[in-house]
Amino acid sequence: MPQSRAASPSHNEPSWAAESRDRGAIRRTNLGVVLRLLRDAGPRSRARIAADAGLPKPTVTSLVAELVSLGLVREGPARREGAVGRPGAEVRLHGHAVCGIGVEISTSYVQVVALALDGAELYEHRVAVAVAEAGPETVLDLAARELTTCRTAVQARGVRPAGITVAVPGVVDSANGAARYAPGIGWRDVAVTDGLRTRLGGPPVPLTLDNDAKLAALAEYASARADDVHDMVCVTGERGVGAGVISAGRLLRGAQGFAGEVGHMPLDPERRPCACGRRGCWETMVGLDAILRLAADEDDALHDPAVELRDRLDLLRTRARAAHPRTLAAMARVADDLGLGVALLADVLNPRVVVLGGYFTHIGDLMIERVREVVHERVMAPDAGGCDVRLSALGFAAAARGGAHLALGPVFEDPAGA
């Protein structure tokens, strides 16, 4: 099998030059290995890094020194509870030289989050907007203004944005940066990244587009992997319902990147019309519109898009706490229907954890026990196949945080070149 040009010197290139180039490539690869190890496994000593990465100790010493000079890691005393004696030195992510920015365009808001390399939140802001009614041009104008404010804020702190990832609901063409079909916000074939690049101006920053549920799953996994969870499903509950699937520590995208459209599983026996144009979709049973429809008439404050969504959910919670009959009936029905779909996902994917995000995080504690009961009743495997159903701790920020994590990916792959 012939070698690639990069692997062998050209006729006019001295052998020492090719060897030097190969050594440089190996070193850059090893920088990424060390940085990802610190991200995934946490702070540790140089000796532990060498053992875990399978690298010689002198090599690790040199790699750590370079990562320190790049502002990506720092060394300091190990944190030891109740230990006696002088603590050893530990290497940990520092990352306040660079950040990732995520922006979510949801059905009722635009949210921007900036995360440092170590996951620290540097900036967060959300603006309420009825996205479908406002239209793509107005929403992209708003998103560009919010991104400009975020970039100005982090750059004032000496932090360089490594990239921006935009999250939208629905079918996304990431390669071309277009929202192909997002019925929840009324978008079809909207050139999101091109539109934002035109509006942002200034120094170019890598800009990508992805599905909101997939990005939310990345954010949830960033927290869950510390508990040795590497197979999980993140179900986002908003007007639409989607899922991001993590399998063996990797985001499952499918053959053409469309995996996770679980909201359109045909589970509704009443075959109610869905925003996608079909009938009987799961999201007509458990999406935000479903619980609001079940809980109140259309002229109720719960349906007023001018009221912040959190406030409407707080009102729903208050009514449930006051044992309002219609509210309790709505939550009971959604809990049963949510358990039905989660059980199906558990049967097919056998995740260790199913995380319920979006609006479920705000009122899900009032339904979670019933959801778990239904899952245990319906999953074929004993003890629900070991599946634990949890509520997200990230709430509506999950997709934007996942976007920030994804924007930082190139830094972890090639710290010296990103």
pLDDT in the model for residue 88: 66
68: nearest Cα among 34, 94, 42: 94
116: nearest Cα among 317, 337, 406, 408: 408
Q: Are the C-beta atoms of residues 122 and 101 closer than 8 Å to each other?
A: no
110: nearest Cα among 309, 264, 357, 284: 309
HSE, side-chain direction, 13 A CA sphere, residue 303: 12
Q: Are the C-beta atoms of residues 239 and 288 closer than 8 Å to each other?
A: yes
Domains of the chain: 13-93 (1.10.10.10), 98-215+400-413 (3.30.420.40), 226-395 (3.30.420.40)
pLDDT in the model for residue 406: 95
pLDDT in the model for residue 12: 60
pLDDT in the model for residue 246: 94
Give me Rg for the CA atoms of the chain: 24
Which token pair is 85? Answer: 């004696």
Q: Are the C-beta atoms of residues 240 and 107 closer than 8 Å to each other?
A: yes
pLDDT in the model for residue 329: 97
pLDDT in the model for residue 2: 38
Query: Residues 358-382: pLDDT tens digits?
Result: 899 999 999 999 999 999 999 999 9
pTM: 0.85
pLDDT in the model for residue 201: 82
pLDDT in the model for residue 6: 42
Positions in the chain short of pLDDT 50: 1-9, 16, 85
Inter-helix orientation angle 325-349/288-295, to 10°: 150
From residue 361, alpha-carbon distances to 106, 171, 311, 357 in Å are: 16, 24, 14, 5
Burial of 225 per CB tally in 10 Å (0-12, 13-18, 19+): middle
Ranges assigned E (strand) in 281-408? 353-358, 388-391
pLDDT in the model for residue 354: 96
